[in-house]
Structure formats: C-alpha cells, structure tokens
Amino acid sequence: MKGKPFTHLEKLEKSGQASLLPERIKISVGFASCGLAAGAQTVLDAFIKGIKKRKMDVQVQKAGCNGMCHQEPLVDVWIPGKVRLTYGKVTHDEVQAILAAIKLDTIPEGALLQTSLDPSADEPCCENVPDSKSHAFYCKQHRVALRNCGIIDPENIDEYVALGGYEGLATALSEKTSMQVINEVKKAGLRGRGGGGFSTGLKWKTCRKARGKQKYIICNADEGDPGAYMDRSILEGDPHAVIEGMLIAGYAVGASQGVIYVRDEYPLAIQRLEIAIEKARENGIIGDSVLKSDFSFDIRISRGAGAFVCGEETALIQSVEGECGEPQQRPPYPAVQGLYGCPTIINNVETLANVPALVKNGAKLFSAVGTETSKGTKVFSLVGKVNNVGLVEVPMGISLREIIFDIGGGIPGDKAFKAVQTGGPSGGCIPESLIDMPVDYDKLAETGSIMGSGGLIVMDEKTCMVDVALYFLRFLEDESCGKCTPCRVGVRRMREILEDICEGRGTIKDLALLEKLAGTIKDSALCGLGRTAPNPVLSTLKYFKDEYLAHIKDKKCPAGVCRELVKYSIDKKACIGCGACLKACPSAAVSGEKKKAHKINLKKCIKCGACSEICPVGAVLT
Amino acid sequence: MKLPRKNKVKQIVQKHKEEKGTLITLLQDIQSEFGYLPKEVLSHASEELEIPLSKIFAVASFYHSFSLDPQGKNTVSVCTGTACHVKNADNLTQSVSRELGIEAGEGTSADGEFTLKKVRCLGCCSMAPVVKINDDIHGGMTQVKTGNLLQQYRKDNK
C-alpha cells in the first residue's frame, strides 16, 4: 500500500482480518429483514444459548443476506483454515445438531447447502455438497454490487476494510484527479441501476462543470418498485459500499455534502446506515479531511414518508427539502440545479455500490462483463412463482430463461410459466416467446418493458394478466401526485375500464379506448411516473390479448383469479376428504364427510380462496 | 391540551427549531411520540413555527406514512407488493378485515385493538405473502395462519 490515505486504513484492515477469519470457529446468522421474517432472531438466540451451555469457544455474529432468500434462516459456519459452510432453513433442532457436530470436531451435515473453499484449503471437505462455484444458484452469478452481502458483519467497518473496502476511495484520493475518476467511470460504461439507465459518468461530468457554491450527492434509496428489494439488501448487508460510492462521487464532482434518502418502510436499513455513518466518521473516513486528504465530505440520512413518486429525482429533492414530493419540470436537470438550487447528483444504491469496485479494479475489469451497451452486472430480485426466490447478480446479457430456470430452478408445482414482469409499475410483462433474448437496458426496452430497478416477478398459469395490469394501475392511481391531468385523470379512467373488464362489464370497444388513452398519457404526462404508467396495460395487451378477450367475450378469467368471474368447485376425484377446506371456510360453504369428496355450496361461497390455499392436493378448482 | 402533552410538543418543536429539520422530520417526530398526528398538536406546532396549518396538512396528507386518526393498539400491515399480489395478498387482506371486523379493508377496529393497513412493498418479496404486525414481519402467510396469529395477539393483549 502507498500514500497517506492507505496507511490510515491499514489498522482497520488488520482488525478486520482478525474478525472476519478468526482463529476459532465462527458462526454468522443472516440478519437482514428477510432472515428476520423467517426467524433469524430465534436461531441466533439458540446458538448463543447452546454455546454457553456447552461451554464452547465459538464466535457468533450477524451478517447480511447472501441472496438465497428461499433458504432463510441462513447460517454460515466458518472453520478456520478450512471452509465456510452454508446452511439453509435452520431450525432450533438444526442449531443443536450443528453445535454438537462442531464440538466433536466433525462437519455438521443436515441442511448443508454449499461450501466455500478457503483459498488456503486443499480440497472440498464434503462430498455431494457443491461449492459456491458449482452450486446451481451461484454458478452463473457474478457478484460486484453484492460482493460483501452475507459475508461481512454490516455493523463492523473493519471487516469491510479487510475485504478491500475504502481502497477505491483511497486510490481516487491519492492517485487520481477528480476528472480522472469521472473518465474512469465513463469509460467503464456504468449506467444508472435505478431505472433510467443514464450514463453515470456523464451525469457526474455535467455536475462537475456546473457552477454552485455547494454541491450535493444524494443516494436514492427510495426503492419503491414493488417486488424489488436489492437496495434494501445492500443497505442492510453492506452499507459502507454505498457510503464509499458517495464519497467517490463527492470527490469527483466537488461536493462536500451527501444525503441518503431512505424509504420509511426500511427501518433496519436506516439503523445499519446510522451505525455505518457513525463508524466512518469515528475513523476519519467521513467529515473534515477524509482519510487525511484535502477532501471533506459529510453524510446525513433523510427518511422518506411513503410516496412512490419520490423515487423520481425532482420529486425526491422536494421531499428532502420537506415539501410534498411533486415532480418538477426538467430542464434544469438536478445535476445543474437540484437540492436547494445547487448542482446535485442523484444516484441509486446499487449504482453507488458498484463505484468502489470499479475505481479500485479499474474500468477495464468492470466492463469485461456485460453487453455492448450495458456493461457490468445487474442485481435482480427473482420473486413470485419461482422455486429459488432470491437476489441474484448476473452479467448483463444473460437470458431471462437462464435466470428463471437455471438459477431460479423453474416454476413450483409443475405449473406452466406464463410471463415475467420487469421494471415495476413502469415496466411490462414479457411472455415466454421472448425470454431467450439477452437481458440489457436496450433489449428490455424493445419488448415494451424496461430494466427498471431489477424486480423480476415470475408469473405462472394461475396469474391473470388483466388482473396484473389492473393491480399496477390501482397502484399508480394511488401514487400519482395529482399535479398533471393526464396522469391524475387518465390513469384513473384506465383503471375504471380495466375494473369493468375484470368484473365482467367490459366491451370490445374498451380495448381501443385503452390504447388511445395510453397514447395520450405517454405523450403528455409531466414526469416518468405518468409517462410510463400505461406500460403494464400496453404490454399485457400486446402479448396476452386472448386473456382480455376471454374476460370480455366469454366473461371468464382463464387463470381463475378475477373474483366476479370465477366459480369455486372441488375436483371429486382429487379430493381426499381431509376436511382442511371445511375448517378453513369462513362462510360454512363447504360440506362433506371425512375421507369422502367435499362440495362447495356456491350460494354461500364468498370466493375468498381460503379452501384453495389450504388444500394439500390442489383439488379446489376455479 | 393536557400539560404533559403540551410539554412533549414543546420539546419536539424546540428540537426542530435548533436542528433546522424539515417539516417532514417534525411530523415524523410527532407521529412517533403520539402514534398519529393529533390536530391540536399540529395547530400548536403551526403557531410555534409560524408554518400555516394548511401547509402542514398538505404534507401530512400527501405522504402515506402519516395518519391523522388515532391508531389501534396493534397495527396489522398487509403487504401489497407485486410478489405478494401474485400470491393472493388481496384475499389475505379481505380475510384479515373480516377477522378484525374492519369493513372498509383499512382502518381501526371498533374496540381500538387493531388498525389494518394495506402497505407498499415491504421488500421481503422472498417470503410473500407477507404480513407485518407492529414491528414483526411474518412471511409465507395463509388466511388460516394469519387468523391464528391475530388470535394470539388478541390473547396476549388481555
């Protein structure tokens, strides 16, 4: 290492190494929101209690999420000099088994998912258990933004430094001018990961050139797209990566103030960020003279208050200033005139998490993966009707099929794949005929959808595409700020038409009217929210018109979702007469003797779906 | 306004003046203290800070996380994110509203025990459908499971 900024990090690095790879066995429990929802606290408590009872010398700590959300609660067992073993769906009994095996100096098997080889170990310790390079969930992944998630303790800055953290910042401060940093980011081809896909380097350059006494860096952590949670996971699992990204951005454009605008729905992310900011300040990484250089930068958190439109950058600025989050006319763009009228950079969490790795390793390595126009990797939240639900980071250009079927393990319960929704409420639904195309910003746009922030919601034959379009319109109508008429009135009118269709009052003329309205809104709404609001309707109309026609002409919902159009019944042959539906039915509409086929009285049925949810053999039909 | 309440409001307003916070942070502080935004507290803050009450109301009603009505002892939030939606969150919300006797699908039960909210994506899409009760997130919910859980909260409250 060389230069003043580096020597400052050396001490942190040493203690980080000791805590990351201690000389005794270490157990880390995945402690992100998804892990907590699955019972991580109980698992952690059980480990602490079990270790105390057995008088063992084992270190226990919290970590973020490694992306295998379908296996939560997740536990890693680190054996010094050997391997890191990852266990999934860990129960209280599993905890006891793991501890008992460790005590006997053996490898606990049970729910072992994969092993990660320590570079110093000679060979894998367990047969039949894949290592992280050959594991189906991981082998096609390439982790840059998620590089530390699930590995380090997010509340320990030393561990971040031990894995090369703040080295990108130190490199920038000691070896590069601000313009060189911007050129590096431009050369790497990094594009905004929050939705727009605008060139990050170009944005920074505009802001650097803009005049202003004060400049600001805002981290947009208002992750509003329903179904996308990579930003939450990065903030909860590796908050320093985002802070370092902001510092580098600040140095590049000449800003000394940073604001992280976080969703109110993410209390754990806020808590981890607060700790990270405090630790960084204590260690001279933020504040005056960052890493003893001439550069000063401070960061504060601004908590959102629940408004989807605040993900739009001009609305976000209004909200940081304490006003109603109404979008403003652009230009002027925030890079020239933003927060409090000063030049402001607004970058998304994932974009900023990419920056330290990019600066540390260089543009060449960053852009070695990806496609011609979309460089690097993208994190997707793979959710919905898919087996391996989780966060995956893949090189741009991989196909949707590989993500859904190879990494995601396909559709549960032998159901047929129908579509994948990308880009949140501004995106669209992509049918099976198109899922072999390579995924990047431009290819997704060609299908009528967008990359957006990276939510991939997988839908199967039991998902109604008209209902999905209605869902997004309801969402957007509720979230429209009401400032411009096309969005305020147009989206509402589209929602009313779709409601008619879903409830059996639709006519064939409605489809043309929907398309006409969509065109008008696209052309005339003030901000991105309004201009993209028709996308979910247009893309479902384009690829799933037959479903619209079934609702309108036959008054039927082929997927059996739209309440007004479905009738529940029980398949006599499949029913095993277990009585679960009878017990679950809130309106006493189910009757039947034990071990004999049950029946639904349609006069009493309120179509709540409780029977269908609980039936162990899928005998309830709609 | 009763004296202890008045003092609390004074403290919040004072802190706000010193730290030069925004209107949103003021409202967040008031809500975390009182559980909602009581009208009398807002009036008082409006006078102290010389911000028109109409402006405070505009901000308070713009953002979803603010409530102008008193909240129940427990808050049940059903996630309405896309991943939850395709896993029947709609039916789940209706079942909770039946269970709690909250007809409109959102609001507070007559006995003041529960407030039901439909919320935006909680970011726990992998556990869909998700229900949050107070600060605890419960994943993989069904109507029956949620019903049992609410019964448990009812019992614990007594």
For chain B, the straight-line distance linking the first and the last C-alpha, in angstroms and rounded, comes to 30
What is the model's pLDDT at position A6?
79
A33 interaction partners in chain B (CB closer than 8 Å) = 122-124, 137
Residue A122 pLDDT exceeds 60: no
Q: Does residue A71 share a domain with residue A12? A: yes
B94–chain A Cβ distance below 8 A for any pair: yes
What is the model's pLDDT at position A129?
72
Q: Is residue A169 part of a domain?
A: no
Tens digits of residue pLDDT in A163-184: 999 999 999 999 999 999 999 9
**Of A113-122, A323-332, A599-608, B4-13, which range is least confident?**
A113-122
Interface test mutation site (partner A, options B77, B125, B133, B137, max chain A beta carbons within 10 A): B125
Q: Does residue A419 share a domain with residue A272? A: no
SS3 state at A420: strand
Q: Is residue A173 part of a domain?
A: no
What is the model's pLDDT at position A2?
53
Q: Does residue A129 share a domain with residue A83? A: yes
What is the model's pLDDT at position A127?
64
**Binding-face residues of A in 285-304 toward B, CB within 8 A:** 302-304
Residue A360 pLDDT exceeds 60: yes
Q: What is the share, in percent, of chain A residues with pLDDT greater than 70?
A: 97
The amino acid at A503: E
What is the model's pLDDT at position A3?
64
Tens digits of residue pLDDT in A529-552: 999 999 999 999 999 999 999 999
**Binding-face residues of B in 98-157 toward A, CB within 8 A:** 98, 119-128, 130, 135, 137-139, 142-144
**Binding-face residues of A in 47-76 toward B, CB within 8 A:** 69-70, 72
Query: Can you give the residue range of the structural domain that contains A445?
Result: 377-460
Strands of B2-157 (E only): list them: 74-79, 107-108, 114-119, 131-133, 136-138
What is the model's pLDDT at position A591?
95
Q: Does residue A223 share a domain with residue A340? A: yes
A439–chain B Cβ distance below 8 A for any pair: no
Interface test mutation site (partner B, options A42, A265, A503, max chain B beta carbons within 10 A): A265
A424 interaction partners in chain B (CB closer than 8 Å) = 82
Count of structural domains, chain A: 5
A302 interaction partners in chain B (CB closer than 8 Å) = 22
Strands A112-117 and B74-79: unpaired
Cβ of A34 and B127 within 8 Å? yes
Q: Does residue A324 share a domain with residue A391? A: no
Q: Does residue A404 share a domain with residue A351? A: no
What is the model's pLDDT at position A120?
46
**Of A127-131, A267-271, B55-59, which range is least confident?**
A127-131
Cβ of A322 and B82 within 8 Å? no
Q: Does residue A206 share a domain with residue A354? A: yes
B126 interaction partners in chain A (CB closer than 8 Å) = 34, 69-70, 72, 229, 381, 383, 389-390
Nearest CA in chain B to A583: B144
A9, A170 Cβ separation under 8 angstroms: yes
A149, A141 Cβ separation under 8 angstroms: no
Q: Is residue A562 part of a domain?
A: no
B66, B24 Cβ separation under 8 angstroms: no
* Signed CA dihedral, A110, A111, A113, A118: sign only: negative
Residue A125 pLDDT exceeds 70: no
A86, A114 Cβ separation under 8 angstroms: yes
What is the model's pLDDT at position B17?
82
Using pLDDT thresholds of 50, 70 and 90, give the confidence band for residue A209. Answer: very high
Q: Does residue A315 share a domain with residue A301? A: yes
Cβ of A471 and B81 within 8 Å? no
ipTM value:
0.93
Rounded Cα–Cα distance for residues A190 and A209 (Å): 19
Cβ of A307 and B63 within 8 Å? yes
Using pLDDT thresholds of 50, 70 and 90, give the confidence band for residue A1. Answer: very low
Q: Does residue A220 share a domain with residue A293? A: yes
Q: Does residue A402 share a domain with residue A286? A: no
B91 interaction partners in chain A (CB closer than 8 Å) = 608-610, 613
Interface test mutation site (partner B, options A31, A33, A449, A502, max chain B beta carbons within 10 A): A33
pTM of the model: 0.94
Q: Does residue A305 share a domain with residue A277? A: yes
Tens digits of residue pLDDT in B127-154: 899 999 998 999 999 999 999 999 999 8
What is the model's pLDDT at position B1?
66
Using pLDDT thresholds of 50, 70 and 90, give the confidence band for residue A119. Answer: very low
Structure tokens at B12: 């919040």
Q: Does residue A481 share a domain with residue A452? A: no
CATH number at residue A571: 3.30.70.20
Nearest to residue A82, comparing CAs of A26, A7, A9? A26
SS3 state at A348: strand
